[in-house]
Amino acid sequence: EIGGYRLSVEDTDSTKMCGTSEDGEIFNCDWVKQIKHSLDDKSIANVVTDTYEGHHFGPVTSVERNPSNPNIILTAGDWTAKIWQLGVSHPLLTTPYRHGIITSARWSPTRPGVFFLTTSEGKIEVWDLLFRSYEPALIQNYVSHPLTCMEFKPPSRGRHKYTVQFL
């Protein structure tokens, strides 16, 4: 059994999704596999195609597919963020451990190698993998209390820029 925590559905194929558990597990699902099996067998095992266990120590607070390559996944939990490729059992990149907990992670909607992290210390980190992969390109102290989530607001009609909203 898996105690679910976060879920990310692929934009181009709504039958595929990635999920996380409260125990630090990451899993990839494909609902089409469930339909192909007998209707008598309702087991979740027919849906989960890949699992990655023990890579985060506690709940995984964010899971998101890269908008340019849906086989690349960004996760955040405990004191690290990790980048995964589906089908590979270990992360491609792990950020260094830190004092504060990472509370959310999001890919840039316009630049495939850039992602953003928020922390329990109220900081925003911008990582640009084409610039450097061992440390953030920018750290901004935003507020003195935790930032719990971050979303990019798509451009409205007539506007061509994304805006960022922090909570």
Taking only the tens place, the pLDDT of each residue in 72-123 is 999 998 899 999 998 888 899 999 998 889 999 999 988 999 999 999 999 9
Q: What is the mean pLDDT of the chain?
A: 79
pLDDT of residue 121: 93
Read off the pTM. 0.77
Cβ neighbours of residue 146 closer than 8 Å, sequence gap 6 or more: 103, 118, 119, 120, 121, 122
pLDDT of residue 117: 96
